[in-house]
Amino acid sequence: METVKVMVDGVQVEVPKGSTILDAAKIAGIDIPTLCFLKGINEIGACRICLVEVEGTRALQASCVYPVSDGMVVRTNTPAVREARRVNLELILSNHDRKCLTCVRNQNCELQDLAERFHVKDIRFEGESIHYPVDDLSPSIVRDANKCILCRRCVAVCASQGVGVIGPVDRGFRTIIEPIFNRSINNVPCINCGQCILACPVGAIREKDDVEKVWTALQDPNLHVVVQTAPAVRVALGEEFGMEMGTRVTGKMAAALRRLGFDKVFDTNFSADLTIMEEGTELLGRIKNGGKLPLITSCSPGWIKFCEQFYPDFLDNISTCKSPQQMLGALLKSYYVEKNGLDPAKVFVVSVMPCTAKKFEAQRPELSSTGYPDVDVVLTTRELGRMIKEAGLDFPNLPDEEFDPTLGESTGAAVIFGATGGVMEAALRTVAEIVTGKPLDDIEIKAVRGIEGVKEAEIQLGDLLVRAAVAHGTGNAKALLEKVKSGEKEYHFIEVMACPGGCVTGGGQPIVKAKKRMDRDPREVRAAAIYDEDRDKPLRKSHENPEVKKLYEEYLQEPNSHKAHELLHTHYVARQKY
């Protein structure tokens, strides 16, 4: 690799050719402030907070985009640099809604961090301020343009998802980031993935807050309130309480939910195991009976909406299985209520998910097979964190507790649903043993793991060679589907997760600031914790789950039975792109 030598504030560093000044300063141990910069997503030098002096140039340069050259001399802390950064910061703040104490991002805001770093105590440039209405029509996402700083990080991440429903409108002082024709985010082909929320450095985009609905339900003596938690929540929730990224808090989470007042605490991992039984059987049925292939997974509601809007010709390829969230909700309002003599009208199901699109999914009318919505309210990981803090629980020091039985047992195959490639791997663990009738030599199918945008694998199952592909991020899914459409690629089975990295970095997960993302990739760190939990499980294949076996014996008869189809399967519809 060709390298160059650069002098940054008197420190000489050797960096790969093509690096930026920001990269070189980091190696030199110097922290240049940034705001619009988001590694790998938004590298445009728009905010001018990262300005530096470069010897031999007349103007200050944006270090996040300025390439280094051999012998370059850079100064990052001169009076001119400090004053330029402060002026740019004050100009950004001059028409910003500075109601920090009531902002969802208070104490987790990159703009707030910069104001503290540069000792901004007063704004010298108070002037005209435009007030915009808050867009809260979406079931998942709220936009507040009054807090927007025009960094364009949300625009870049939405484009990388292959959706591109927001962008800059108007010019100059009146520039605003919004959907076309001043529409609500609810009236454009937004897929509710929430990646824009994770990208936003301030509180301009946030999830629809449903915490008060849950508090109200918990206080209603006429309701039996139960909760389920998704696989990815357990490797991220601790971050809301200052714990290390990727810390597993499964037992503490169950304990906290009981202390909040939930009548029963269940694990969505149970229905992830159930999903494998249903989806694996569906896959084998399609292969043997000449059904529509490739079979495409249906666990990610953001991906489903993307497909409905942009690729409706693939709807017959999508598995008819509901997502694990909806499967468990349907069982809670059928099997669970029958077993416990409860009135389904008085059973209130709350889901804790890493995903903002799950809020959209829960209100889909077709997901109410019992006559009641499968799931009543969806909370994000962040919302649960706020509830725990409001209740005054010392989360890091809570004792570990187990999930409630009957719908709480799960295997390692279920927990890996939280990482990209996990559904595929879990399905193949079961399908392989069903087809061959003997245990796998190695159940860890590493070909489908990792954060490469599209991964391919061929798995020999007896006489059957299964060709599989995994895509995460709908931008990658789009590229994959185009190859399938053209005939360039042929597969039996495709897994798609709407969010880059899968559910571990879903739109409802704890927000990791851009600076921290430069050092640690949440997709990798949280996924590693997911795989650790899988290895620690006594059972690691979905078809070995004793509670799933019991459910089929007592209630569903067998995978893909008529009863199973009534409760656990659904259909999807082509949607207009507005």
Find, among 31, 32, 27, 33, the residue nearest to 15 by Cα. 27
Would residue 36 show up in a list of annotated catalytic residues for this protein?
no
CB 510 within 8 A of CB 384: no
Determine which one of 207, 282, 409, 425 is catalytic: 282
Determine which one of 366, 402, 554, 566 is catalytic: 366
Would residue 279 show up in a list of annotated catalytic residues for this protein?
yes
Determine which one of 178, 308, 361, 495 is catalytic: 361
H-run or E-run covering 266: strand 264-267
C-alpha separations of 228 from 181, 297, 327, 511, 556 in Å = 39, 21, 11, 22, 21
Find, among 493, 573, 578, the residue nearest to 311 by Cα. 573
CB 270 within 8 A of CB 408: yes
Please list, in sequence order, all residues whose beta carbon lies within 8 angstroms of the beta carbon of residue 255, skipping any fewer than 6 positions away: 398, 399, 400, 401
Would residue 126 show up in a list of annotated catalytic residues for this protein?
no
C-alpha separations of 129 from 95, 132, 145, 173, 366 in Å = 5, 10, 12, 9, 44
Determine which one of 305, 358, 478, 541 is catalytic: 358
DSSP 416-484: GGGSTTHHHHHHHHHHHHHHHSS--S----GGG-SS-SEEEEEEEETTEEEEEEEEESHHHHHHHHHHH
Find, among 322, 493, 489, 355, the residue nearest to 424 by Cα. 493
- Dihedrals φ, ψ of 228, to 5°? -130, 150
Determine which one of 50, 64, 299, 307 is catalytic: 299
Determine which one of 63, 138, 300, 319 is catalytic: 319
- Dihedrals φ, ψ of 455, to 5°? -120, 145
Determine which one of 240, 503, 541, 542 is catalytic: 503
Q: Cβ of 515: how many Cβ atoms within 10 Å?
A: 15
C-alpha separations of 412 from 151, 275, 277, 543 in Å = 41, 14, 14, 11
Q: Cβ of 411: how many Cβ atoms within 10 Å?
A: 27
Q: Cβ of 458: how many Cβ atoms within 10 Å?
A: 11
Give the bridge partners for 267, in sequence order.
229
Q: How far apart are CA 451 and CA 433, in angstroms?
A: 27
DSSP 375-410: -SEEEEHHHHHHHHHHTT--GGGPPP-PPPSSS---
Contacts 24+ apart (CB under 8 A), 100-108: 103/147, 103/202, 103/203, 104/203, 104/206, 104/209, 105/202, 105/203, 105/206, 105/511, 106/203, 108/511, 108/513
Would residue 299 show up in a list of annotated catalytic residues for this protein?
yes
Determine which one of 279, 308, 409, 425 is catalytic: 279
Write out the catalytic residue numbers. Answer: 279, 282, 299, 319, 358, 361, 366, 503
